[in-house]
Amino acid sequence: MSDRHWQEDAAAASGIRSDPARYLNRELSWLDFNRRVLALAEDPAAPLLERAKFLAIFAQNLDEFLQVRVSGLQDQMDAGLRTKTPDGLDPVEQLRAVRARARDLVARHTEIFVDDVKPALEAVGIRFTGWDELTGADRAELAAVFEQRIFPVLTPLAVDPAHPFPYISNLSLNLAVLVRDDRTLEDRFARVKVPAVLPRFVALADAHRFVPVEQVIAAHLDRLFPGMEIVTHHPFRVTRNTDFELDDEDEDLLEAIEEVLHRRTKFGKVVRLEIDTLMPDEVRDVLQRELEIDDDAVTVVDGPLDLSGLWALLALDRPELKDTPWPAQTPATLVPTELRPDIFAMLRHGDILVHHPYDSFATSVEAFITQAAQDPDVLAIKQTIYRTAGAESAIVSALADAAREGKQVVALIELKARFDEQANMERARVLEEAGVHVVYGLVGLKTHAKIILVVRQEADGIRRYCHVGTGNYNPKTASLYEDLGLLTADPQFGAELTELFNHLTGYSRPVGYQDLLVAPEALRAGLAERIRAQAAAGPAGRIVMKMNSLVDPSLIDELYQASAAGTPVDLVVRGICCLRPGVPGLSETIRVRSIVGRYLEHSRMFRFGPDPLTAEWYIGSADLMPRNLDRRVEALAPVRDPALRGRLEEIVATVLADTDLAWELDADGTWSRVPQPTDDRRVNAQCELHRRAAERAHRA
């Protein structure tokens, strides 16, 4: 991994004030976000299976953080780099602080499961049972399961002079086993990997009792080591560095991505070893020596390892233990007056704003693409794909069908979407086989913009229809992530998307856009210019931003300048926030809150101006991070229709009024829940937005 990649924040900070007190640490801020996720699992008012789900989400989030961010800090430290981030910490200091906080979070995570969620589940008939607690009949049942489904896929690996220590794959659950030869009385070390194809928790036939899979395997180790005495066995899990630098100059990008995936699987350095509290020092010493890690990289867990397996509980038919379903609504402007709506005709009458998952993805974005694919007057469809569903998805199928019908179809697929590389390669091959022109974007830049362009021949000439969104074209995440999308037939907008696609697929140089704010050429400057305009208005100005992450020091400084001028600033930041709000003389007029709830808050929207109906509004794919502003293709689109601006203001006002899901950031960098009123003024933003979407659909 290159030094450049892991010095992004430091590089972006050049030329700005270097006072560390101005900024919060990026990595610690992310851990604070995951703590807010964990708080959802602690909520006794939440349905039990939803609490278990958030325990699983916390575990998966932390795995990814360690694979990418902690591994980067480790690389910097190993390389002897002492470059400080804007908050004043060098890699050694960051790594020490991150590991300490992560250990505390893991301990709390385990405690919530063992002492709270697990007993609560048992009270409603869902039990996590240890092998020692099973009856003879239960053990006989699991013995049959072991023989039929588990034993055939296990491979014990001995460690001795003839058998070197095996490679321990990333995120794999394993058993470290000591066996004794009865003839020589010699103890030997072996490793048994728990294959990923096996369930994390094995269900008994009654479907409401679960046994950790490693305990089922441990009870039958004599089948793996016949004739040997089992001295001891202990589970362990390894997390490795998976963030390898891609050589963008490689002539065959597919081949380069495949090499990165191979390296991710085979060569990542270990950044964490998870063990249980019962593992003896002699076994731990073997693992640390062979994995080449020190004590700081070891996490001792007083409970089951890898609670991401709790996701499986959502498959249980226990609706009373889950959130009440909120059916997505067809947006009022898309409610058909005939059997099937003509989306093109509707867009000729005006722009349409969709707000997922409250508004249906299927009857808006998917319907838009499907109609374009089936319409004989459509000449071309162009779309970016960052993360989407499999080959069976409606959008992938529609693009393939359109190409087979002879339409000009272009899919710009981002192969470098982290952890989705393999899936995106498969999408690319499916689309290419159907005749779609598949391209992979620009050298050195990820294409993160969410844009669609449809070109249609009409009686009065060519007309272009567009979609710009904040989220991926993925029906699964569209039901779980909160996102926005703008559908429009505005001619200027269509012309600019045409220029952008030509730039992405051909050799044209970037052009100046009147409507779009496009990164990396103009987004940073465009946002800074608009922040400065509100700063110039002083207390009469207004800035509202909603995003996933706020990291960029330069734009943080612009917001500080606006605050110094008295401009009120409201920031809704779901995850990382490196800005300190409410600091006297620095950020007194800035408020920061985070909404963490049933849906993942994923939309990005930006308002500049005091009057919500006349202010400048933008939506799009970019967070305020150096990578989004400088190393990705991003697009923010203006929302000009006063009615749609009113919808955006409704969303923002609801989020800012939330008392149930909201957290506020204090000047000292700590997050705390917004105080809840004791009367009927309580607001759950996600419940309220769902209610309003249902009301609009009902009126329509």
Residues catalogued as catalytic: 448
Residue that has been written with the tokens 């940073």 in this structure: 524
Neighbour-count burial of 379, counting CB atoms closer than 10 A to its CB (0-12 exposed, 13-18 middle, 19+ buried)? middle
In order, the DSSP letters of 501-512 are HHHHHSSPPP--
Residue 375 near residue 506 (C-beta atoms within 8 A): no
Residue 403 near residue 409 (C-beta atoms within 8 A): yes
Residue that has been written with the tokens 């703008």 in this structure: 486
Q: Can you tell me the distance from the alpha carbon of 587 to that of 584, in angstroms, rounded to the nearest whole number?
A: 6
Q: Can you tell me the distance from the alpha carbon of 73 to that of 666, in angstroms, rounded to the nearest whole number?
A: 26
Tokens of 193: 């990997």
In order, the DSSP letters of 136-179 are HHHHHHHHHHIIIIIGGG--EEEEBTTBPPPP--TT-EEEEEEE
| 124 secondary structure, DSSP code | T
Phi, psi of 577 (to 5 degrees): -140, 115
Q: Can you tell me the distance from the alpha carbon of 10 to that of 615, in angstroms, rounded to the nearest whole number?
A: 33
User: What residues contact 164, with CB distance under 8 A and at least 6 apart?
Assistant: none
Distances (CA, A) of 139 to 132, 134, 136: 9, 6, 5
Residue 207 gets the label, from left (phi > 0), alpha (psi -120 to 50) or beta, of left
Helix (H) or strand (E) holding 42: helix 26-42
Q: CA-based angle 381:628:11, to the nearest 5? A: 150
User: What residues contact 217, with CB distance under 8 A and at least 6 apart?
Assistant: 146, 150, 154, 175, 192, 194
